[in-house]
Structure 1
């Protein structure tokens, strides 16, 4: 007989070893999710704020964009397709009194696309108050990018490293606008907005069940099948959690960095599932997974909430702040991954500068 304290969640461990277990785990999360989400009040505005959202043309990214624009923000939609049609969708759904929107092309599967987009933003004088790194993929099998890297690894992790570092280097994310540690609040210009810029990674609880980071094969391509797809996804999210925690420490007092797992969301992220599984999977997600508009609430909260001003390194799972996995909080692993990602990008011809060093965390 099973111990009384063991529940369905325990029976599914390691719950992200396959798509079926991940789906059931998502349903369990949804059923147990009784607390209201962290969310801005309906009347809280983001007028004057400029936010970049990746993967903004569909699903969760589109819902995040609509909510931000509805609150008065100017959103830069970074996406591979759907331009300009998707901007019309945002304007229509955001309604009257909304902010503004523009779109730029971005393909995280191509590092050169990141360089072009950041250069374009810098040349146009764009100053971002927040970045939401939402884009991600769950391919059905291993695929090699033009850079010789695993596509899931590149899109879900390494491309975000390059994107954030370049935005910082080029000053598109301006550090600490008058709100650096040690500033005298009474000496600030009351007419200026002194909130720190924010970087928000859309992450996943699957990072907890990922195997330890194997630095000996970081970024190297190996064949894997759909049976391993969710496990590989979790591995990329562990990398993102570990790197973002290190980033938060390095930019403390200059830029706030947070991560969030929105829980089980009814999007098309599983669009590469086998055709025989799609009807059942689609029905299950529709019945049990949350609507993207609801899932977007804690993400928009991390972008704009004044209640967390001064905080950094928060990890939000659905409705509450909690610790990320111990691996992701390991300072030595974070430093090692930081250096390894720099070397890997340099090997692809995208060497990074040193302008991101600093902050109180170092």
Structure 2
């Protein structure tokens, strides 16, 4: 079997792509790849200066596609809604939404609305963004939503009694794992709901294995020292995400990551979904809790789900 690599990415000319956290690491690598394949890429980033620098770097690569940026802070639901509103006003299609941005192992912190920073950014922010952009995704033939999760989903637990770590002693590892399990459950639950409604919109997931990037900035110093030596470069780690987002044979609900060394390195292949992520009852409850917390409406074909009804 041949290795899936950048040459395997189909032509993206005429397609519009939004990538969160696209100014560095895997997000930047994916943005450069999409633009190189002809797509119009919107870099959705919290820091406008870093976004401008990233756009400048991509343009020096002379891609056949084009790039622009838009301010997006996933830790602020007002910012999420504002970004989505501006995007809908300026674009008539959205072919791929890549929910990539995230924080890992951060110290105890809160989002603007008071959620745990890791759960609020990694899961709730992307839940809200996808909901706001869903009408445009449903309007675009062949559209896809791809969410970046992590091997940490294998260790995550959804604690409905304390989703936002208000009572428990804070664990950076456990909070991150919960947010990444939530990402995976969101992908599977959204795909189930889309399928039930008769929509052709596909939802996929990916993980980066061990990739050396800025995401490890809150990790132990030893990990930060070792990661550049043993981890994959972002342009390699991004291939799983690119396969999930562009491979026409990747079905909705599929999950992609590195093939070798317990899925930490290698070319992208189908990855193992954790048993907890496949718990449909927990996923449905997490969906309803997320709708209440974000206040976002998911207007699926044939049904309207409002957070106030949850």
Do these two structures clear the TM 0.5 threshold for a shared fold by scoring above it? yes
Q: Which residue of 2 aligns with 1:91?
A: 59
The Cα shift of 1:214 comes to: 1.5
Separation in 2 of the partners of 1:156 and 1:43?
26
Q: Which residue of 2 aligns with 1:14?
A: none
The Cα shift of 1:355 comes to: 0.9
The Cα shift of 1:145 comes to: 2.1
Match of 1:219 among 164, 170, 189: 164
Deviations 1:182-222 (A, max 9, x none): xxxxxxxxxxxxxx2111111111111123x2212223535
**1:355 matches 2:269:** no
**1:297 matches 2:257:** no
Q: Which residue of 2 aligns with 1:258?
A: 204
Contact 2:153 2:184 in 1 (8 A): yes
Q: Which residue of 2 aligns with 1:173?
A: 137
> Which stretches in structure 1 are left out of the alignment for 5+ residues?
1-34, 178-195, 346-350
Contact 1:121 1:172 in 2 (8 A): no
Match of 1:131 among 97, 103, 120: 97
Q: Name the CA shift for 1:358/1:249 in 2 (closer, same or farther; >3 Å).
A: farther
Q: Report how many residues are paired.
A: 289
> Which stretches in structure 2 are left out of the alignment for 5+ residues?
259-267, 304-310
Separation in 2 of the partners of 1:282 and 1:62?
20
Q: Name the CA shift for 1:43/1:202 in 2 (closer, same or farther; >3 Å).
A: closer
Q: CA RMSD in A?
A: 2.1
The Cα shift of 1:223 comes to: 6.7
**Structure showing greater relative contact order (alpha-carbon pairs closer than 8 Å, 6 or more residues apart):** 1
Q: Which residue of 2 aligns with 1:314?
A: 254
Q: Which residue of 2 aligns with 1:189?
A: none
Q: Name the CA shift for 1:239/1:43 in 2 (closer, same or farther; >3 Å).
A: closer
Q: Which residue of 1 aligns with 2:288?
A: 339
Query: Where do residues 137-216 of structure 1 align in structure 2 (5 Å cutoff)?
Result: 137-168=103-134, 171-175=135-139, 177=141, 196-211=142-157, 213-216=158-161
TM-score (norm 2): 0.86
Larger Rg, first or second structure (1 or 2):
1
Residues 63-72 or 312-321, more deviating? 312-321
**1:324 matches 2:267:** no
Contact 1:144 1:221 in 2 (8 A): no
Q: Which residue of 2 aligns with 1:288?
A: 230
Q: Name the CA shift for 1:98/1:176 in 2 (closer, same or farther; >3 Å).
A: closer
Q: Name the CA shift for 1:40/1:268 in 2 (closer, same or farther; >3 Å).
A: closer
TM-score (norm 1): 0.75
